[in-house]
Structures are given as C-alpha cells and as structure tokens.
Chains A and B, each alone.
Chain A
Amino acid sequence: GAGVSQSPSNKVTEKGKDVELRCDPISGHTALYWYRQSLGQGLEFLIYFQGNSAPDKSGLPSDRFSAERTGGSVSTLTIQRTQQEDSAVYLCASCKALGGNTEAFFGQGTRLTVV
C-alpha cells in the first residue's frame, strides 16, 4: 500500500502475556519511529530507527519493551509480560529525508488493551 500500515488495529491481551505489534513503513523510508499515546494525551517517544545506525532506544519505558527492524523495512514492537499500564495506542511513523519536503507519515495505530 501507499501508506504506513500497522497490525493489528486492536489487540486485547491478558496481563502477563507477550504481544507483538507490527509496522510496515512506506517503501524507501529510512527512518521509522514508534510512539505511545494514552487516551487524550500526547505522543510519548519510544524508539527511533535511522537506516543502518544503532536505534535510539531512549524512550523505551522498561526492559519489557523491545523493537527491531528487519532489513531496514518492517518493524516489530514487542511488549513482554504486559501490564495494565501498557494499555494505549501505539503509533508508528516513517520518514524519508527530502529536504524541504520532509514529512513523517503515520499509521493508524494499534490500540492495545491489557485486561
């Protein structure tokens, strides 16, 4: 597709289970970001991938959170031993440096509910 695709759209999981959230960025975009958004709140930065550089993991809230980006394309955010406070919308964005036309494109997000 032409846009950033995230799956699943919604995920309900039991406390203590692991979950994987997927992001398919726009083809050719070298930068990929993950954010977390609680209801009615702002975007909390989680992790950033740029090409072959080491990812910026400074926003990951705990060691239960990890992410990888395979082949510089698809990214997976993994949350282990989920807690109720992990419930939020997880947004992915990708970006290609185009000088004056730089723009980050966002997916629709994955709404995670931990029960």
Chain B
Amino acid sequence: AQTVTQSQPEMSVQEAETVTLSCTYDTSENNYYLFWYKQPPSRQMILVIRQEAYKQQNATENRFSVNFQKAAKSFSLKISDSQLGDTAMYFCAFMKSSAGGTSYGKLTFGQGTILTVHP
C-alpha cells in the first residue's frame, strides 16, 4: 500500500517570499504520478502541479515548481513570489500508473499543510 506523508501541519510566509512544502511517500511501484492539490476556504480542490515518475525533469507551472527526488521518495512544492491568494490547504497525492502512462488505482493523499500568506 502507498502512503503519503506531509510533516508540516502549518506554514506561513510573507507576501512575495518563497516557501517550500514537504512531502514524502512510500511505494514499491516504479510507475506513478505525484500531484499537489490546493484547497482554498471555498473547499474546491484545484490541481496545482503534477509530476510523472519516469520524468527526471522537475515540473514547473508559473510560480509553482517541484523538487522530485525519486530515490529519496520526496516531492516538495516550492511557491515563489507568494500571493495572498495562495492561502489554502495544500495536499500531496500519489496515483499508481501503468508503464504506458494510463493512470489507474487509488489516489492517496497526505494529511495536508495549511499555508497562510501574510501581507
């Protein structure tokens, strides 16, 4: 079974600064996806960024980037130039996939990190 661990229950950062959220996971699978989801107070889960395990290059989406260390089973999220709208709960998630990239299997989430951006 896969497990996802987020060791930081809460984080805070000043507006325009950079913050890194940690995530580690445990799996025996070789093919999988990793995700970071954001859940603002509205409760709507929004995909922030995704990483395919077979890709060595770290995924980047505008101000969001990841540091994917497959051997260490680590998948941290870096938010640059933090904005007030980034305040939310952030979840790291794991999904097993086939060698061909067709995803299947349970989507497993970490416990979440509450991020607060201060003006």
> Residues on A close to B: CB < 8 A?
31, 33, 35, 40-43, 45, 48, 50, 56, 58, 89, 91, 93, 95, 97, 99-100, 102-104, 106, 108-109
In the complex, the answer to whether A103 meets B47 with C-beta atoms within 8 Å is yes
A-B pair number, CB within 8 angstroms: 63
- Residues on the A chain within 8 Å of B104, using CB: 31, 50, 97
Closest A residue by C-beta to B47: A103
Contact assessment for A102 and B33 in the assembled complex, using a CB-CB cutoff below 8 Å? yes
Which among B93, B100, B106 has the highest number of chain A CB atoms within 10 Å? B106
Show the binding face of B for A, using Cβ within 8 Å.
33, 35, 43-45, 47, 50, 52, 89, 91, 93, 95, 97, 100-112, 114
- A43 nearest CB neighbor, chain B only: B109
CA of A40 to CA of B10 in the docked complex: distance in angstroms? 11
Given contacts A50-B104, A95-B103, contact A102 B95 (CB under 8 A): yes
Given A99-B101, A102-B97, decide whether A45 and B108 contact each other with a Cβ distance below 8 A: yes
Say yes or no: B45 contacts A106, CB within 8 Å. yes
Chain A residues whose CB sits within 8 angstroms of the CB of B111 once the complex forms: 41-42
18 pairs, CB–CB < 8 Å, chain A vs chain B: A31-B103, A33-B106, A35-B109, A41-B112, A43-B112, A45-B106, A45-B109, A56-B106, A58-B106, A91-B45, A93-B107, A97-B103, A99-B100, A102-B50, A103-B47, A104-B35, A104-B47, A106-B45
Asked whether, in the complex, the Cβ of B91 is within 8 Å of the Cβ of A43, the reply is: yes
Nearest CB in chain B to that of A91: its residue = B45
Q: Chain B residues near A104: list those with CB within 8 A.
A: 35, 47, 93, 95, 107
Inter-subunit contact A99/B106 (CB<8 Å): no
Whole-angstrom distance between the alpha carbons of A33 and B103 in the complex?
14
**Further pairs besides A35-B109, A43-B91: 20, Cβ < 8 Å:** A31-B103, A33-B106, A41-B111, A41-B112, A42-B109, A45-B107, A58-B106, A93-B107, A97-B97, A97-B102, A97-B104, A99-B100, A102-B33, A102-B95, A102-B101, A103-B47, A106-B44, A106-B45, A108-B44, A109-B43
Q: Are B107 and A108 touching (Cβ within 8 A)?
A: no
Distance from A39 Cβ to chain B, minimum over Cβ atoms (Å): 11
A99 with B102: CB separation less than 8 A:
yes
